[in-house]
Amino acid sequence: MTTAHRSRRPEPRPRRAIRPAAAVALTAVLALTASACGNSGDAAGGEGDGKGTVEFWDNNGGVRTPVWKKIIAAFEKKHPDIDVKYVPVPITEVQSKYDTAIAGGGLPDVGGVKTADLANMVAQGALEPVGDRIEDGPLKGRLSPGMVASVRAAGGEGDEMFSVPTSANQSVLWYRTDLFEKAGLDAPDDWETFYEAAEKLTDAGDNKFGFTLRGGAGSVAQALDMMYAQSGVGTFWKGGKTTVNAPENVEALEKYAGLYKKATPAADLNNDFTKMVAQFGSGDIGMLLHNLGSYPDHVKAFGKDRIAGIPLPPSADGAPRTIPSNPVDGLGLFRSSDNKAAAWKFIAFAASHEMNSLWNEEAGAIPARTDAAGDAWVEDAAPVKAAMESLNDPETKIVQLPYELPDWNHISKAGTEPDFQKLLLGEMTAQEFADKLAGLLNEARAEWNEQREK
C-alpha cells in the first residue's frame, strides 16, 4: 500500500490553498514597490515648530567630528528644546550617500555640502534655497562675498543660494625649510626656483625627492592648479570653449607632468591625498602641493619650524597670481526636512562668528565669516593668512571652475584620472590629455546651456 501510495501521482491541490501564499507574495511585492517609491529627495517637507530633532550629516565625518561635537554641544545648550542627531559621513562616501537618499528617501534636515557637489543636488531638487533666510537674519552681510559668489555660481540658478558658505580652501605649495636651507635654495616663490629646487633636492638613490605629485584620485584638480598658476590664463571659458587646452596651459601641463619620476617617486602614480601627505610626512621630500587642510599633518610630522606653505607662484615676475577656485564648503538645508525652522537655527548658529571661527581654526581653513578674518588664530597660522591675503588681493585672478556643470565631478575625477595616469606614463601626450578634457567639458557645457535655455 505504501509503495502504491508513493508511486501515485499527487492529486492537484485545491485552488484556495494557493491563495494565502499568493496573497503573501503579492503583499510583499507591493510593499517593496511602495518602499522604493517613498519619500524621495524632492518632497516638500515643512517648517515645523522650531523644536525637536534636527538630523545633520557631516560631509567630512571622522576628521571633523571633534569640532562638530563641540559646536553641537554649544547649540544644544543654547537651544535645549532642539536635539541635533549627528551623522558623520566619510568624505569619500558622501556623494553616493546623498544620491542614494535623494533617490530612495532618508535625507537629513541639514548636511555639509561643497560647491563641487552643489550642482548635482540642485539638479535633483534636493536643496532648499536659503538666500531669503540669509538676507532676513544675522548672516546678512557677514559672509565672504567671494564665497557667496562661488555658491551662487555653483548652484546654477542665477543669484539664488543653495547653501550657507562656511569655509574655503586653497592649494598651498608646502616645502621643507630645513631641506631648502641645507641645499642653499631660496623659497620656491617663482616657477624657475620651483623646478630648480625639485631637481636639486632629488637623489633617488638616497631616497630623496624634490616633489611628490598626485597621480591617483584628485590628480586632475591638482594638475589644473599647476596649469593655470603657471600659464596665467585667467578664465576657464573663452568664447564658449574651455581654456584647458590653450597652448599656455598645455605647455604648463607638460612641464608639470615632466616632474614624474624625474623629481618624484615612481609610486606617485597612485597617490591620492592621503598617500601623498603620508609620503611627504615620512620621507625626505622637498615640496608638496596640497590644500590648507594638511597643515596640522605637516606640523605634526616636522614641527612648525621645518615646514612652510605659500600660495602657488604667479606666472611671471610682477604678474598677478592665477588661482583656480577651490570648492567652498557649506551647510545645506534639505527640501524634504519637516523641521526647517529648527534646522535653520542650527545652520545660523554653526555659521555664527564664534562657531565659524572655531571650526576653521581646527580645520586650518579660511573662514566664511568676514568678521572671523581678523581673529588671533588667523594671525598665528601663517599659511592660512597667506592664502587669505592672496585670495583677497584684488590683482589675483580667480579662475572659476565650472562646479555648476552636473558632469564636472565625473569629468574631473573618474572620467579623466586614468588618462592623467596615461600622461604620466607617457602613453598620452599633454596635448592629447588636454584636448580630451576640453572636449568633455565643452560637450557638458553645451548640454547644460541647452537645458537652461529650455
Partner 1 sequence: MALAVAKEPRGTGRRRAGGPARLPYLLISPAVLLMLGFLAYPMISVLYYSLRHYNVTKPWRNGFAGLDNFSALLADDLFWQSLVFSAQWVGTEVALQLALGLALALIVNQTFVGRGISRALVFSPWAVSGVLTTTIWMLLYNPSTGVSRYLADAGIGSYGTSVLSDPGTVFWAAVLAELWRGVPFFAILILADLQSIPRDLYEAASVDGAGRLRQFLHITLPHLKDAIVLSTLLRAVWEFNNVDLLYTLTGGGPAGATTTLPLYVANTGIHGHDFGYASALTTVAFVILLFCSILYLRLSKFGGDRS
Task: Show the binding pattern over residues 119-138: x = contacts partner 1 (CB under 8 A), - = does not.
Answer: xx--xx--------------
The window from 44-52, 128-136, 304-312, 418-426 that contacts partner 1 (CB under 8 A) reads 418-426
- For partner 1, the closer CB: 31 or 319: 31
- For partner 1, the closer CB: 120 or 357: 120
Contact at 8 Å (CB) between 322 and 397? Answer: yes
Alpha carbons 182 and 352: distance in angstroms, whole number = 45
Q: Which of 76, 99, 362, 371 binds partner 1 (CB under 8 A)?
A: 99
Contact at 8 Å (CB) between 269 and 216? Answer: yes
Q: Does 303 bind partner 1 (CB under 8 A)?
A: no
Taking the complex as a whole, how short is the minimal distance between the CB of residue 89 and partner 1, in angstroms?
14
Q: Does 454 bind partner 1 (CB under 8 A)?
A: yes
**Segment 201 to 220, residues that bind partner 1, using CB under 8 A:** 204-207, 209, 215-217
DSSP string, 394-447: TT-EEE---TTSTTHHHHHTTTTHHHHHHHHHTSS-HHHHHHHHHHHHHHHHHH
Distance (Å) of CA 200 to CA 180, 193, 242, 264? 10, 10, 35, 12
- The three three-digit cell numbers of residue 62, written as one number: 571622522
- The three three-digit cell numbers of residue 374, written as one number: 581678523
Q: Does 406 bind partner 1 (CB under 8 A)?
A: yes
Q: Which of 3, 7, 9, 21 binds partner 1 (CB under 8 A)?
A: 21
Alpha carbons 414 and 432: distance in angstroms, whole number = 17
The window from 159-167, 304-312, 391-399, 402-410 that contacts partner 1 (CB under 8 A) reads 402-410
Q: Does 96 bind partner 1 (CB under 8 A)?
A: yes
Q: Does 118 bind partner 1 (CB under 8 A)?
A: no
Alpha carbons 217 and 430: distance in angstroms, whole number = 19
Task: Show the binding pattern over residues 229-268: x = contacts partner 1 (CB under 8 A), - = does not.
Answer: -----------------------------------xxxxx
Taking the complex as a whole, how short is the minimal distance between the CB of residue 343 and partner 1, in angstroms?
23
Q: Does 418 bind partner 1 (CB under 8 A)?
A: yes
- The three three-digit cell numbers of residue 246, written as one number: 590653450
Alpha carbons 143 and 152: distance in angstroms, whole number = 13
Q: Which of 279, 315, 357, 390 binds partner 1 (CB under 8 A)?
A: 279
Taking the complex as a whole, how short is the minimal distance between the CB of residue 266 and partner 1, in angstroms?
5
Q: Does 429 bind partner 1 (CB under 8 A)?
A: no
- For partner 1, the closer CB: 18 or 73: 18
Which residue in this structure is represented by grid cell 624657475? 192
With b for 16 or more beta-carbon neighbours within 10 A and e for fewer, the 266-303 pattern comes to eebbebebebbbebbbeebbbbbbbbbbbbebbbebbe
Own/partner pairs, 230-233, CB within 8 angstroms, 24+ separation: 230/191, 230/255, 230/256, 230/315, 231/315, 231/322, 232/314, 232/315, 232/316, 232/319, 232/320, 232/322, 232/397, 233/322, 233/399
Quote the crossing angle between the two packed helices 417-425 and 219-231, to the nearest 10°. Answer: 70
Q: Does 53 bind partner 1 (CB under 8 A)?
A: no
- For partner 1, the closer CB: 77 or 454: 454
- The three three-digit cell numbers of residue 427, written as one number: 602613453
Q: Which of 17, 239, 394, 395 binds partner 1 (CB under 8 A)?
A: 17
Number of residues near partner 1 (by CB under 8 A): 58
Taking the complex as a whole, how short is the minimal distance between the CB of residue 422 and partner 1, in angstroms?
5
> Of how many residues is the chain composed?
454
**Segment 177 to 206, residues that bind partner 1, using CB under 8 A:** 204-206
Taking the complex as a whole, how short is the minimal distance between the CB of residue 68 and partner 1, in angstroms?
25
Q: Which of 3, 7, 9, 14 binds partner 1 (CB under 8 A)?
A: 14
Alpha carbons 300 and 217: distance in angstroms, whole number = 24
Contacts of 119 by beta carbon, 8 Å cutoff, 6+ apart: 154, 155, 156, 403, 404, 405, 406, 408
Q: Does 18 bind partner 1 (CB under 8 A)?
A: yes
- For partner 1, the closer CB: 289 or 391: 289
Q: Does 442 bind partner 1 (CB under 8 A)?
A: no
What does the binding site for partner 1 look like in residue numbers (CB under 8 A)? Answer: 5, 13-14, 17-18, 20-21, 24-25, 28-29, 32, 36, 95-96, 99, 102-103, 119-120, 123-124, 204-207, 209, 215-217, 264-270, 278-279, 282-283, 406-407, 409-410, 413-415, 417-419, 421-422, 425, 427, 447, 451, 454
